[in-house]
Amino acid sequence: MTPTTTDRHRDDPKPAGAARQWPDPTLDADTAELHRALYELKRVYRFRDRDRICCHDISVTQAWALDALGRGGPSTLNELAAELYLDKSTASRVVDALERKGYVERTPHPHDGRALMLKATPAGSRLRALIEKDMLARERRLLTEFDHGVRRSMARLIGRLAEAASTGLVSRGGRCCSGDW
C-alpha cells in the first residue's frame, strides 16, 4: 500500500537522506514562507549591521573581513576572498582599506615567498571585539523573550540552514546566475 500524506504527521521530520515516497503538498507553501521570512531577516540585519558598524568607521564587508581574520587567524588573500565569497580583487580592496586604517597588516607567507599573509593588528582585534560585543548585546536583547529551549533550537536551525545554503557555494568571482546551487 502506498503511503499518503494522511498516513504521517505533517510536522514529522523525514530522516536525513530518506527517499521521498509521496509528494509533499506543503513543500511549496513552506518554501515560500521560509523565503519571505529569510528575506525580511536578511533585509533587517543588513541595515542593522550597516547602521551599527558604520559607527566604527568601517564598512560591513570590512567588518566581516576583520571578523574572518580574527576567528580564523592569519590568511592569504585567496583564503579570505573564499571565506567572504568575494572575488580576489574585491577582497584586495577591502584589505587595502583595512590596512590604511591600521586594522590589518600583511606579512610574508612562511612557506610561499610569492604570497603574503593577512592578519589583524592589535587595533583591528580590539575593533573586532568591540563590534562583536555590540552585536551580541543586541542579539541578547532580541532573545530575552524566548526560553532556553527555543533559543537553542533557533541557533541550531539557523546554523543548519546556513550550512545547507553554503553547500556548493564558492567564490565565483562575481559571476551572476551560474545555474548551479
Consecutive sets of 10 residues in the chain, 181 residues long: mean pLDDT of each? 44 54 85 90 83 85 95 92 93 96 93 89 96 91 93 92 79 51 47
Q: pLDDT value at position 130?
A: 94
Q: pLDDT value at position 110?
A: 87
Domain holding 77, by residue range, is 53-152
Q: Has residue 161 been placed in a domain?
A: no
HSE of 36 in the Cβ direction (CA atoms, 13 Å)? 6
Give the CATH number of the domain where residue 70 resides: 1.10.10.10
Exposure string over 138-147, b if 16+ CB within 10 A, otherwise e: eeeeeeeeee
Q: How many C-beta atoms surround the C-beta of residue 167 within 10 A?
A: 7
Compute the distance between CA of residue 107 and CA of residue 125 in angstroms, rounded to an integer: 16
The domain total for the chain is 1
CB 53 within 8 A of CB 131: yes
Q: pLDDT value at position 6?
A: 43
Q: What backbone phi and psi angles, to 5 degrees, belong to 8?
A: -140, 160
